Amino acid sequence: MRSEVFYIITGMALVTYFTRFGALALFRFTGVPTWLNRWLKYVPVAILTSLIVPSLLLPKGYLDISLNNHYLIAGIVAAFVAYKSRNIIATLGLGMSIMFVLKLL
Amino acid sequence: MQLSNLISGKNELAEEVWVALRECTPVVLGVVPFGITCGIMGLTAKMSGVETILMSVFVFAGASQFIGITMLGAGMTGWGIIILTTLLVNLRHLIMGSSLAPYMIRLPFPFQAFLAFFLTDEAYALTITRIHKDRYSVLYQLTVSTVLYLVWVLATVAGVVLGSYISDPLTWGLDFAMPATFLVLLIPLLADRISLIVFGMAAVVSVFAALYLPGKWYIIIACLIASLIGGLLEGDSENA
């Protein structure tokens, strides 16, 4: 194993464990402060959005809003399927199939 | 008398495990494609199979593994930013941990520390649902946690094996699996006005930041700004 990957895995493991055990150790007598609770509440939406949207709009590093951008087209369809079905397998299956077909065309 | 007590006690324990197994099955089935994708993505990002599997064994956090792998694949070997992003992504576990704290606090401290390692979104959701329906059960939490962990690691192994048969997964658009899986996680969260505003803010800021900032800083900038705005709006609506 490469040493930089080893450090990354160790670091990720440590900070993940900190977030899972930290609250138990830290807040077990006081509860989570209100301001932190408010801020943390919207972290999942914010971080998922900032991962998804650029990867669909700038798949090659530049803004590409056109029919040639397969990621954007498959992403719009996948978002619709995810909204309707809430199902990982359906969304992944249909999204990947569209990617596959667009690559062949 | 003693014997029958012992037997009925054992039956109760077995019943609790059985309920846990039954209730976590649909969730576990949902985890399998994520684990397989994680394995394939690891190879796509030029990680070795062993590295990819060890990440699942030691980190055990789906979303941050995807992000870490994506960053590695993008040529970011600086470990600081990957670990900082992992921390940001997993900060939500602080909320989950504190919501379970009143129940877990009665357990022996080392056992709390042990169970905390397995506190994923899925394990939390199942355990807290069990608390609302019946009562806190440590055996329930332990069973659900163990099953989710084993399935996650085995699914990653399956992904690594599958991925090695696909010569160049990128040419088949397999990297699309990441945004697609995140979409399934994101869309159920967009259920209220503030979440939609946070979504819009994060979308706009991340695209602009991706255009003008180096590396993956756009993720952290957009996340900090959008979630802070969400928190402030939440505070306003509470005061109104």
Instruction: Kindly report, residue by residue over B68-114, the tens digit of the pLDDT.
Output: 898 888 777 678 888 988 998 888 788 778 778 878 888 888 999 99
Measured CA to CA, the distance from residue B21 to residue B26 in angstroms comes to 10
Nearest residue in A to B123, CA atom? A20
Q: Sign of the C-alpha dihedral, residues B101, B104, B109, B113?
A: negative
Question: Which of A24, A39, A43 lies closest to B104 in CB terms?
Answer: A24
pLDDT at B17: 93
- Nearest CA to B97 out of B66, B128, B67 is that of B128
Question: Which of B30, B90, B219 lies closest to A88 in CB terms?
Answer: B30
Domain chopping of chain B, boundaries? 2-172, 190-240
pLDDT at B239: 60
Q: What is the mean pLDDT of residues B129-146?
A: 90
Question: A21 or B237, which is more confident?
Answer: A21
Reported ipTM: 0.81
Domain chopping of chain A, boundaries? 1-41, 44-105
Instruction: Kindly report, residue by residue over B183-225, the tens digit of the pLDDT.
Output: 887 888 898 999 999 999 999 999 999 999 876 678 878 988 9
Per-residue pLDDT at B4 exceeds 60: no
Among the listed ranges A26-30, A78-82, B95-99, which one has the minimum average pLDDT value?
A26-30
Q: What is the mean pLDDT of residues B139-150?
A: 96
Q: What is the mean pLDDT of residues A79-99?
A: 87
Instruction: Kindly report, residue by residue over B9-48, the tens digit of the pLDDT.
Output: 678 889 999 999 988 887 787 788 788 889 988 988 889 9
Residues of B in contact with A57 (CB under 8 A): 207
Measured CA to CA, the distance from residue B119 to residue A33 in angstroms comes to 21
Nearest residue in B to A13, CA atom? B59
Distance from CA of B53 to the nearest CA of A (A): 11
Distance from CA of B12 to the nearest CA of A (A): 28
- Count the Cβ atoms, other than its own, within 10 Å of residue B51: 21
CB pair distance less than 8 Å for B54 and A1: yes
Distance from CA of B77 to the nearest CA of A (A): 7
Q: Which 3-state string (H, E, C) describes chain B? A: CHHHHHHHHHHHHHHHHHHHHHHHHHHHHHHHHHHHHHHHHHHHCCCCHHHHHHHHHHCCCHHHHHHHHHHHHCCCCCHHHHHHHHHHHHCHHHHHHHHHHHHHCCCCHHHHHHHHCCCCHHHHHHHHHHHHHCCCCHHHHHHHHHHHHHHHHHHHHHHHHHHHHCCCHHHHCHHHHHHHHHHHHHHHHCCCHHHHHHHHHHHHHHHHHHHHCCCCHHHHHHHHHHHHHHHHHHHHHHHC
Question: B87 or B169, which is more confident?
Answer: B87
Query: Considering chain A, what is the average pLDDT of its residues?
Result: 86
N-to-C CA span, chain B = 62
pLDDT at A56: 93
Residues of A in contact with B116 (CB under 8 A): 17, 20-21, 24
Instruction: Kindly report, residue by residue over A1-14, the tens digit of the pLDDT.
Output: 788 889 999 999 99
Among the listed ranges A17-21, A75-79, B40-44, which one has the minimum average pLDDT value?
B40-44
Residues of B in contact with A64 (CB under 8 A): none
Place of tokens 């997993």: B90
Residues of B in contact with A71 (CB under 8 A): 173, 176, 179
Per-residue pLDDT at B116 exceeds 50: yes
Residues of A in contact with B44 (CB under 8 A): none
pLDDT at A4: 85
Per-residue pLDDT at B53 exceeds 80: yes
Q: What percent of chain A has pLDDT over 70?
A: 95
pLDDT at A105: 79
Residues of B in contact with A20 (CB under 8 A): 90, 93, 96-97, 116-117, 119
For the question of whether the overall pTM of this predicted structure is more than 0.90, the answer is no
CB pair distance less than 8 Å for A96 and B77: no
